[in-house]
């Protein structure tokens, strides 16, 4: 049987690229995003019978449980969970509206936790059957090197990094490996959509890394490939920066 993955945030950006890469390798992919309308372009672009779109509001505990129950009926064993869904809201913490702060924490932390909680029984079933079970969460270099105007986002990603480490130890006995990636600036719709807000604040994307460019989604997915491979069989509880050296040392403006 082909391996099976659940990918959140599958409608665009890193999640879409992850789904595309897994499908190319023969995986079955259940792609979650907020609505049918959001998923429709991705479904057309992927054009695969092995891609199963599932609309789901990750902030809604009942909705997450319902979607996961449906997946479990189709696929009792899941080999990978990739949590790529996320939102970015900018603003000084002293000025940020409560609803925007809540949205960032609800999607990036609570929704991620709900997804993991509901999906883990399917991952445990996979490892009990001698198959791989991997969880890849999306942190950020903002958790390592926070910036002004993105306090809520940075806090949410710091929480993801902590959840990664604790969840890895909690799942170790069942053989499920849990790791996180911490990208720098990635050329995704989420970053593009913040251009108007950024013009009115002090926030800027990290921009080109010391390697001379920003990341493309495939740069992040290539590291996912390692974490999903047998070469990563002894890697768990890690947060891996994928940022072209952005956080390694400060480069002053010239």
Q: Which residues are tagged catalytic?
A: 153
CB 12 within 8 A of CB 3: no
> How many other CB atoms are there within 10 angstroms of residue 226's CB atom?
12
Looking only at Cα atoms, what is the longest distance across the chain? 58
Cα separation, 188 vs 185, in Å, equals: 9
Judged by phi (left if over 0) then psi (alpha if -120 to 50, else beta), residue 139 lies in beta
Q: How far apart are CA 47 and CA 24, in angstroms?
A: 11
User: Half-sphere exposure of 170 toward its Cβ, with a 13 Å CA cutoff?
Assistant: 11
**Whole-angstrom Cα distance, residue 216 to residue 187?**
5
Residue linked to tokens 């940075």: 154
Supply φ then ψ for residue 55, to 5 degrees.
-65, 140
């Amino acid at each position: 049987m082909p391996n099976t993955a659940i990918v959140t945030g599958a409608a665009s950006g890193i999640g879409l690229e992850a789904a595309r890469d897994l499908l190319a390798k023969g995986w079955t992919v259940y792609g979650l995003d907020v609505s049918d309308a959001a998923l429709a372009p991705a479904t057309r672009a992927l054009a695969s019978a092995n891609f199963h779109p599932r609309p789901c509001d990750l902030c809604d505990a009942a909705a997450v449980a319902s979607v996961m129950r449906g997946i479990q009926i189709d696929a009792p064993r899941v080999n990978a969970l990739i949590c790529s869904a996320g939102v970015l809201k900018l603003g000084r913490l002293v000025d940020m509206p409560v609803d925007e702060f809540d949205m960032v924490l609800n999607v990036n932390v609570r929704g991620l936790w709900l997804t993991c909680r509901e999906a883990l029984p399917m991952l445990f079933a996979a490892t009990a059957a001698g198959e791989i079970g991997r969880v890849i969460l999306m942190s950020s270099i903002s958790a390592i090197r926070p910036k002004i105007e993105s306090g809520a986002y940075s806090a949410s990603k710091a929480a993801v990094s902590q959840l990664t480490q604790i969840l890895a130890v909690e799942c170790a006995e069942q053989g499920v490996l849990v790791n996180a990636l911490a990208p720098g600036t990635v050329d995704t719709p989420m970053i593009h959509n913040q251009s108007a807000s950024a013009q009115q604040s002090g926030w800027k994307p990290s921009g080109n890394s010391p390697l001379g460019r920003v990341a493309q989604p495939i740069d992040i997915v290539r590291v996912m490939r390692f974490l999903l491979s047998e070469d990563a069989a002894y890697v768990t509880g890690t947060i891996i920066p994928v940022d072209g050296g952005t956080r390694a040392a400060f480069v002053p403006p010239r």
